[in-house]
Structure 1
Amino acid sequence: MKQAILITAYKNFKHLVDIIDFFDESFEFYIHVDKKSKVLKSDFEKIGARKNVKILSRKYRVNWGGLNHLKSSLFLASKALEEPANQYFHLISGQDFPIKNITQFKKTTNGSNLKDYLEYFEIPTKHWANENGGLDRIQYYHLFDMLDAKKHIKWIWRFVRLQKKFHFKRSIKDETPKLYGGSTWWSLSRKTLQYVIYYTNNSPYLINRLKYTFCPEEIYFQTIIMNSNASKKVVNDNLRYIDWESTRIDKYSISPAVLSSSDFEKIKASKKLFARKFDSPTSDSLKAMLLKNE
């Protein structure tokens, strides 16, 4: 049995090589690099030259908060499913890093009755209380695909406030399934991921409705899976160590803290498979400690 690691990345390409080199030949990599990212040709070639890198694509221009991040994840999932040997799938970012050894990865995904690890909660939810329980994400137009949030975040939220001021709301039709939200990142069995792709190809209403939704990748997988029979084997845990005690980006969103060597003992004690986020030089010593401990 092989495991596929799907990575959406936009920077830190030397770190991306370190992620790939951590794993052995029983892991395959499917990587999407943001089309607008500046990446040296030498770095790109170095990544593509790794034997276990099966897909290295720049198919989509990905704006934070927009639909194309979800599309790039679905693209990688479809490609990874084309390899019959791939039986388990992990979606991570290019700023993640594995925090367990290979044996523990294989132990987690061993056996015929594989569990799916996915954070989920019903919408509306207290987790997104400042967004009307998450309903604001869906009921108002968010222009993240049209505007780069790094440059125009104030204008994006001003447009949302303008819609609220004039009492404009997008309808949520009866054909919309019960909505669930959660973390972008997951670890899923082949059967469950196949169902998500089957649903995407045969029931396009949901993905079309999530256009102009804020961070639709935090809704799409949860909604499809938790409205299916696959929900019975979902563990409400994404197996990612993330520290949310961080600096707020704006009034609606926060970014996970960049991890450092001071986080080592907490990471070592956790039962997670990956941690995020890693950024150089802050995380360099932590990564060295994890590799030494591996």
Structure 2
Amino acid sequence: MKQVFLICAHKDIDQLNALVAALCDPDFTVYVHLDRKSALDPAALHPSARQVAPRIDVRWGGFSQVNATLVSLRQILHEQPEFDKVIFLSAQDFPLLPNALLKRELMRLKDRELLETAPIRPGGWNVGFRYQFFYREGGGRLERLACGLANRVLRASGRRRSMPDGFVPHGGSSWWALSRDCLAEVLRLADAYPRLMRFMRTVQCPDEMLFQTLVMHSRFAGRVLSDNFRYVQWPEQGARNPKVLDAGDFERIRASNAHFCRKLDSQASAGLLPVLVQWKESRAAA
């Protein structure tokens, strides 16, 4: 069964190409979105990868992350009439399963949407502030001042914003594996609810909210398995970014049921990468 991998990348062409090379398989198609502001040379991209166009200038925490994903998905669905899932990756992911085993695992999960999700509320994922207040991506000084003033008014009045059109907020990891039919429904809903999409332009980290909210609003909600099969380690002190993995993380990675681990850096993870490669090769030979 055909699978599509969508990789978003903003640095380190060698690491990106190594990931594309690892996913070279007759049953896999790989798309890459290159951040428009990055120094990555499109001409240096692995020849088996398909480039997403247009390229979006991606800013952390803003709607540009969602926009880059939506642009990529529209191209994929236009060009690929038949496939099982899109597996969404960053260029700092590493595949822990050899391709034959990864294909078997994805076949086992073919009737599920692999989407880490929880309701955004006290007792669920308590990050309501991300959408209850205004967040501005970029803009000039006056726009930032207006955003800050609006938030001060909300706090002083005790009021909070809510999602439009009856949508119930859900959130989770921005990395997922969703079926073609589910993604077609996500794009349909995005087009059908322009007010929600405008609202999402004013929230913090909409990439960790929009897809969960739309899928859980759709007929695919019952297919969701709240597990994206990624190994990620968050610093105990709390941080906005996950830990860059190193050799000391290997045993925990090996004990997981993850299909991919992240995030890796070609320099900071230099001691871990050859160990992962050797372990992966041993799994292929088993």
113, 130, 146: which one aligns with 2:139: 146
Structure 1 unmatched runs, 5+: 148-154
**Which runs of at least 4 in structure 1 moved beyond 6 Å after TM superposition?**
155-161
58, 66, 80: which one aligns with 2:62: 66
What's the offset of the Cα at 1:284? 2.1
User: Alpha-carbon deviations, 1:181-235, whole Å to 9, x = none?
Assistant: 1110101111111111121122222221111200011111111111222111111
- 1:288 is the counterpart of 2:278: no
Structure 1 equivalent of residue 284 of structure 2? none
Which amino acid letter does the alignment assign opposite residue 209 of structure 1? F
Number of equivalenced pairs: 275
- Aligned CA distance change for structure 1 residues 16 and 112 (closer, same or farther; 3 Å): closer
Query: What CA distance in whole angstroms lies between the structure 1 residues aligned with 2:268 and 2:207?
Result: 28
**Structure 1 residue matching 2:31: 3-state secondary structure:** strand
Query: What CA distance in whole angstroms lies between the structure 1 residues aligned with 2:146 and 2:83?
Result: 40
Query: What CA distance in whole angstroms lies between the structure 2 residues aligned with 1:180 and 1:216?
Result: 11
Structure 2 equivalent of residue 258 of structure 1? 244
**Structure 1 residue matching 2:47: 3-state secondary structure:** coil
Moved more, 198-207 or 99-108: 198-207
**Structure 2 residue matching 1:271: 3-state secondary structure:** coil
- 1:31 is the counterpart of 2:32: yes
**Structure 2 residue matching 1:183: 3-state secondary structure:** coil
Structure 2 equivalent of residue 151 of structure 1? none
121, 126, 130: which one aligns with 1:124: 121
What's the offset of the Cα at 1:32? 1.3
- Aligned CA distance change for structure 1 residues 112 and 271 (closer, same or farther; 3 Å): closer
Is this contact kept in 2: 1:67–1:210, CA < 8 A? Answer: yes
What's the offset of the Cα at 1:86? 2.4
- 1:46 is the counterpart of 2:44: yes
Structure 2 equivalent of residue 152 of structure 1? none
TM-score normalised per structure 1: 0.84
TM-score normalised per structure 2: 0.86
Structure 2 equivalent of residue 188 of structure 1? 178
- Aligned CA distance change for structure 1 residues 174 and 10 (closer, same or farther; 3 Å): closer
- 1:157-176 matches, cutoff 5 A: 162-163=152-153, 165-167=155-157, 169=159, 171-172=161-162, 175-176=165-166
Is this contact kept in 1: 2:163–2:199, CA < 8 A? Answer: no
- Aligned CA distance change for structure 1 residues 20 and 113 (closer, same or farther; 3 Å): closer
- 1:11 is the counterpart of 2:7: no
Query: What CA distance in whole angstroms lies between the structure 1 residues aligned with 2:202 and 2:209?
Result: 13
Query: What CA distance in whole angstroms lies between the structure 2 residues aligned with 1:10 and 1:111?
Result: 32
- Aligned CA distance change for structure 1 residues 228 and 104 (closer, same or farther; 3 Å): same
Structure 2 unmatched runs, 5+: 281-286
Quote the sequence identity (%): 28
Structure 2 equivalent of residue 20 of structure 1? 20
Q: CA RMSD in A?
A: 2.6
- Aligned CA distance change for structure 1 residues 15 and 112 (closer, same or farther; 3 Å): closer
Which amino acid letter does the alignment assign opposite residue 188 of structure 1? L
**Structure 1 residue matching 2:272: 3-state secondary structure:** helix
What's the offset of the Cα at 1:8? 1.5
